[in-house]
Amino acid sequence: MTQTTTTESNPLLARGLPQFRSIQPEHALPALEQRLAEYRQAIAEIETLLADRPEAVSYASVVDKETLADDALSNTWSSISHLHSVNATEHWREA
């Protein structure tokens, strides 16, 4: 299981605009692992709801939940991708 990282220790997990000056290559993998775990958890919760309580299914319980998880993952990956493009150092290529 992935260890949870906090926004204080990993700026890639913070809400809002990325603080690029604070992001280091060693933040990339833990942030992606956490976002993927969160996304998988959201999908598992949706699947459980669909299987166990189909009457409780709504737009918010499916689409909103998946969209929020997807947005968090996309924002994290976008920041990493951008930094890799503009700062293609050996450390970023390894990350």
Please classify residue 95 by burial: count the beta carbons closer than 10 Å to its beta carbon, then call 0-12 exposed, 13-18 middle and 19+ buried: middle
| Contact criterion met (CB below 8 Å) for 39 and 73 | yes
Summarised one tens digit per residue, pLDDT across range 28-62 is: 999 999 999 999 999 999 999 999 999 989 998 89
Check whether 5 has a pLDDT greater than 80: no
Measure the CA–CA gap between 94 and 14, rounded to whole angstroms.
Answer: 23
Residues sharing a CB contact under 8 Å with residue 80, sequence separation 6 or more, in sequence order: 12, 28, 31, 32, 95
| Contact criterion met (CB below 8 Å) for 73 and 38 | yes
Check whether 90 has a pLDDT greater than 90: no
**pLDDT at site 7:** 59
| Contact criterion met (CB below 8 Å) for 56 and 62 | no
CB atoms within 10 A of CB 79: 21
**pLDDT at site 38:** 96
Check whether 1 has a pLDDT greater than 60: no
pTM beyond 0.85, yes or no: no
